[in-house]
Structure 1
């Protein structure tokens, strides 16, 4: 049963992570005019208004109803588990039923900021929340904390990245995801409307910082910085995925815009070091998966990552 839920839980974050793999192939295609392409309204929504409504996991309707009836128990179990296992306080934003329980989307509330998920099993026959059996997808919270630590340690570099992507938005009439969608169906670590980051467990530069934080979550920024090992940094273990959407609902992704953004990112020495992927989608997302990648999406991704 646990293996099945792992597959379900994977779909939450993999839709964003693996969306890049799809984009890597289709990003080399030429963008074509939308020709008033109409997406079924029951399946797609403008990224400008999408807040997570319609997000769905297989076989979860019954358990989602039970979870909503026992919301206080689900929230309490989630918070207690994360406080005990990860020394982290969280705010729960959303619950989505799965076949064997409920997937809880939450946001950290401490100095480290990230989004992630927890799985709360439910005995649907007896309509009982199994509070003592809460678990998280292997490595998900750890990766999220490491990514958030990078942001915490390299504040100036991430401010430069924010300035850069906001500049792209203004210059090329591009938009990002709503904050509500990140809260309700994000669950993938450090996330902003225009990008998210990933830090892998093989990252020897940040791992000492992570270990210190887990021992002492009240450690100061200076203490955490002293634990960082810059000589061990390998950009392939820290990834930044930038995702833009066309503001005009009838506009197709423009390869000229993608190329100009890629060139600017390559030449910007002020943004964080790491491996960058850049995606450009039309205006719509799939409501059930929150995915933006479609046949006309463009990307600069595998194997042509931007390495900084």
Structure 2
């Protein structure tokens, strides 16, 4: 539910639509930005200022509320912000990272980064700026509660459960290849505006903070980042695993820009996940969206998206 709440929190589109109607709706003249205007694909209701094809979206247009001064000063601070973020994550989480994107927030930057090395995840850090003194406040860098920890835990799952994660990847690839009607997002979008722990173009995985099964593995890694894979696997407490603590969110998009998500496409995907007992253990949410991403939110979730009832996920135990 944490994942779904985060997604809901990003929705800012109603304000944009209201202003569009004020500009173009009174005279009933479809302007370029009108919700009823056709985009370059001939699709109504997906104006190019608000939406972009999932096949080309790389994060352009994404913003955080109250971005403020930082958005206009990126070049001035970029190098120092990147260096300070790398040093902070290395010191606090024993992890080397690559910085992909800086997005202005109210007090500085939200930094989107990707881990380097055998553990792979995406996350964010917040770097404050003192604009009056034009100074990067390196001593005040922080991360949202459990954000990087969650990334590390899910990366550890993917590392010690590599065979099971390969089953998941292969199943999704088979769905994409045989179905022919669905696609995923771009790697660049994940890098620039993702930050959702372990993530691929088709899904992301998040481990909740009370996940007791993986916690000893995390503790061992933080104590000894060079611990072998065998040592990390031995630390895993299988008997403490609760599928509610490990969430797999699958996001697929219609390949054809003019096609809506329909049950005829969605249902076979659901059945494939329900019937495959070789998948990683956890709870699965399957989403099918139309072809477009909301640029400002970096998300495909809209009124026409299809998903199972949130009360009844697919649980692999």
TM-score norm. by structure 2 comes to 0.86
Q: Deviations over 1:170-190 (max 9, x none)?
A: 222211110000000001100
Change in Cα spacing, 1:264 to 1:231, as seen in structure 2 (3 Å) is same
Post-superposition shift, 1:61? 4.4
What is the CA–CA distance in structure 1 between the aligned matches of 2:10 and 2:137, rounded to whole Å? 31
Aligned counterpart in structure 2 of residue 282 of structure 1, from 264, 281, 290? 290
Q: Which has the higher contact order (CA 8 A, sep 6+)?
A: 1
- Which structure 2 residue ranges, 5 or more long, are not aligned? 12-41
Match of 2:55 in 1: 48
Change in Cα spacing, 1:141 to 1:217, as seen in structure 2 (3 Å) is same
Match of 1:229 in 2: 237
Q: How does 1:58-73 map to 2 (within 5 A)?
A: 58-73=65-80
The alignment's C-alpha RMSD in Å is 1.9
The answer to whether the 8 A contact 1:16-1:291 is kept is no
Match of 1:180 in 2: 188
What is the CA–CA distance in structure 1 between the aligned matches of 2:266 and 2:259, rounded to whole Å? 14
Post-superposition shift, 1:301? 4.2
Aligned counterpart in structure 2 of residue 258 of structure 1, from 266, 283, 298? 266
- Higher radius of gyration, 1 or 2: 2
Post-superposition shift, 1:18? 8.2
Aligned counterpart in structure 1 of residue 7 of structure 2, from 7, 11, 15? 15
Aligned counterpart in structure 2 of residue 124 of structure 1, from 131, 143, 147? 131
Which portions of structure 1, spanning 4 or more consecutive aligned residues, are displaced by more than 3 angstroms?
Answer: 16-19
What is the CA–CA distance in structure 1 between the aligned matches of 2:282 and 2:239, rounded to whole Å? 14
What is the CA–CA distance in structure 2 between the aligned matches of 1:14 and 1:219, rounded to whole Å? 33
Change in Cα spacing, 1:58 to 1:170, as seen in structure 2 (3 Å) is same
What is the CA–CA distance in structure 2 between the aligned matches of 1:86 and 1:64, rounded to whole Å? 27
TM-score norm. by structure 1 comes to 0.88
What is the CA–CA distance in structure 2 between the aligned matches of 1:205 and 1:301, rounded to whole Å? 27
Deviates more, 1:197-206 or 1:53-62: 53-62
- Which structure 1 residue ranges, 5 or more long, are not aligned? 1-9, 20-34
The answer to whether the 8 A contact 1:37-1:250 is kept is no
The answer to whether the 8 A contact 1:77-1:132 is kept is no
Aligned counterpart in structure 1 of residue 151 of structure 2, from 139, 144, 152? 144
